[in-house]
Chain A
């Protein structure tokens, strides 16, 4: 047998999340099973209220499930304390948010360094050098001393991606990463995600736009707190090709 068995990054068993709003119980996630292997690029899709944000919060260790088990990189997170959750967010997960969520009046470099400042185990010896390295990797080596308000939306999101990469996480979790960007810039960002994925980084993307989900390798669709479809994308979009197409369309006009 040629291929080694891929490592499980995410293993979810019968995961449920129930919110109590007054007397009413809202079942945001209803006994979900999901497993994601190392090197995958998964898009979690669903309309508003489908439970995808809840799932993302649980995968990102920002919230605790009501019941069920969640193994992240082999660690059972269900029994962990608040501080251990912080440690997991710090070491295992890189977040990319819709609104970029960069610290204002703080240079790109300092923003990228931020997760390393909170790493009490100092796994990375030279934070500044590492931050420069990842900024170069996302193509922002020239702009590392700029503050967010001096950067374009696409550049800001690339700073956020660099920040997500700096701690060498097991998983990058992107929540509507292009929600605030126009389509050309969005394609650029997905091109970057695909490049990172090709380098072996596991990416979980949460989006409600099907056309962007096609940049991933696999789509998990949610509805009413359940997974209704889990499929491999056949006609996957390739970022570099799409960029060429956009350029052509632009020329036609």
Chain B
């Protein structure tokens, strides 16, 4: 018999008992909707976590100076300070996967200005610092390349500094003195809050790297560098490229150890996304149980239906239906029930996700993959739980089936 006819027969007999078909499909509807919504909530949580992590700095790579050896004693990270502005320039010029790189010249000390004084850290950076750290300005402006070249004494304050020194004042244009060197405040950074480690990221002053080197630190060495990869996917490749450029810049022969260390945030991201992935799996498997319960519901109804329709099966066999025709008829009924349930479930989950996103704090994200998986899984459930009743129906002896009261 042709598939079209089989489908027609299956649909007809499902429509003959609408209420029962609806209730049977309901198990699958609820199961699929639950799985899709749960996975959407999990995915939403994952994206939120990723966003929070990338707010630490987009695709951030940090390059620290390596350890030096003095008479056989290894001195620990940063003991040999060999990064210069030359290195920064080389990375900027010779890498393709690095979007931007900035030197960080670390300094610190007492800052006086406005209505008080405060001990904080000062970072000398390049103009692309904000881009690398994914950190917008709240007020004013950032310094320019001209300021870098001219070693201008300008500073951009973190939110904490503003709170300490200028609680009721517009800080833009004010003078502050950092270790007695006067700086002019030209901008204020947006509040970034605590770091993952609990440090106050807003307790900072940034100024042109050249200015900090010359006026506050003295010397030519920069503390470390921050770079930003083109994309998260390429972060490992970018890191490798950066390493080889740095080895070349520092004339390190093959086989020799690097005199610097490169770190990225992939590890943190991975740990966090791993956590939310586990959460997703947990939610999905709880919901998946209801899908299986739905499948058992289908099997139950199909079994009842086979007994109830024994005579119908006998009639079909007597007019020439083959065993496989009967098998497929019942199998298709089960599959149609569960697939229809799956599709309705998807629509319900769309509605649920819409409500979650618009009327609650939760973020839920439906990805197309899970729709595909849920629908095909509901089809598989139909086949799996429909097979036994269908085989039972197909195995009936036509003589007995015709006599069945």
Contact = CB atoms under 8 A, between A and B. Distances in A.
Interface stretch (B40-48, B315-323, B342-350): B315-323
A82 interface: yes
A118 B399 contact: no
Contacts of A158: none
Contacts of B2: 120
A104 B402 CA distance: 14
A114 B322 CA distance: 13
Contact of B315 (A83, A90, A101): A101
Interface string B292-335: 00000000000000000001101111111111110000000000
A97 B317 CA distance: 14
Contacts of B319: 89-90, 95, 114-115, 118, 163, 167
B399 A86 contact: no
A212 B185 CA distance: 117
Given A89-B318, A101-B311, A101-B318, A120 B323 contact: no
Contact of A90 (B9, B16, B311, B320): B320
A167 B321 CA distance: 13
Given A103-B315, A118-B1, A91 B320 contact: yes
B402 A86 contact: no
A106 B399 CA distance: 22
Contact of B321 (A102, A105, A118): A118
A115 B312 contact: no
Given A101-B318, A163-B319, A118 B325 contact: yes
Contacts of A117: 1, 5, 9
B398 interface: yes
Nearest to A56: B399
B320 A119 contact: yes
B318 A114 contact: no
Interface in A55-88: 57, 60, 62-63, 82-83, 86-87
A86 B312 contact: no
Given A83-B323, A118-B1, A118-B325, A101 B314 contact: yes
A204 B321 CA distance: 22
A163 B319 CA distance: 9
Given A82-B323, A118-B325, A120-B1, A57 B399 contact: yes
Given A101-B311, A101-B315, A115 B320 contact: yes
A163 B318 CA distance: 11
A82 B396 CA distance: 12
A5 B2 CA distance: 40
Interface string A96-125: 010001111110000000110111100000
A27 B321 CA distance: 29
A95 B317 CA distance: 11
A195 B16 CA distance: 36
A21 to B, nearest CB: 15
B16 A105 contact: yes
A95 B314 CA distance: 12
B101 to A, nearest CB: 73
A86 B322 contact: yes
Contacts of A60: 318
Interface in B3-38: 5, 9, 12, 16
Interface string A192-232: 00000000000000000000000000000000000000000
Contacts of B317: 86, 89
Nearest to A173: B318
A60 B399 CA distance: 10
Contacts of B312: 103-104
Contacts of A95: 318-319
A86 B1 CA distance: 12
A106 B5 CA distance: 15
Contacts of B398: 62
B399 A114 contact: no
Nearest to A54: B399
Nearest to B15: A105
Contacts of B318: 60, 62, 89, 95, 97, 101
A62 B399 contact: yes
Contacts of A114: 315-316, 319
A62 to B, nearest CB: 5
B240 to A, nearest CB: 64
Contacts of B325: 86, 118
Closest 9 A-B residue pairs measured CB to CB? A90-B320, A115-B319, A86-B322, A118-B320, A89-B320, A117-B5, A118-B321, A101-B315, A62-B398
25 contacts: A60-B318, A82-B322, A83-B323, A87-B320, A89-B319, A90-B321, A95-B318, A95-B319, A97-B402, A101-B314, A101-B315, A101-B318, A101-B402, A102-B315, A103-B312, A105-B16, A106-B12, A114-B315, A115-B320, A117-B5, A118-B316, A118-B321, A118-B322, A119-B320, A163-B319
Given A82-B322, A114-B319, 20 more contacts: A62-B318, A62-B398, A62-B399, A62-B402, A83-B323, A86-B317, A86-B320, A86-B321, A87-B322, A89-B317, A89-B318, A90-B319, A101-B311, A101-B402, A102-B315, A103-B312, A114-B316, A118-B319, A120-B2, A163-B319
Interface of B: 1-2, 5, 9, 12, 16, 311-312, 314-325, 398-399, 402
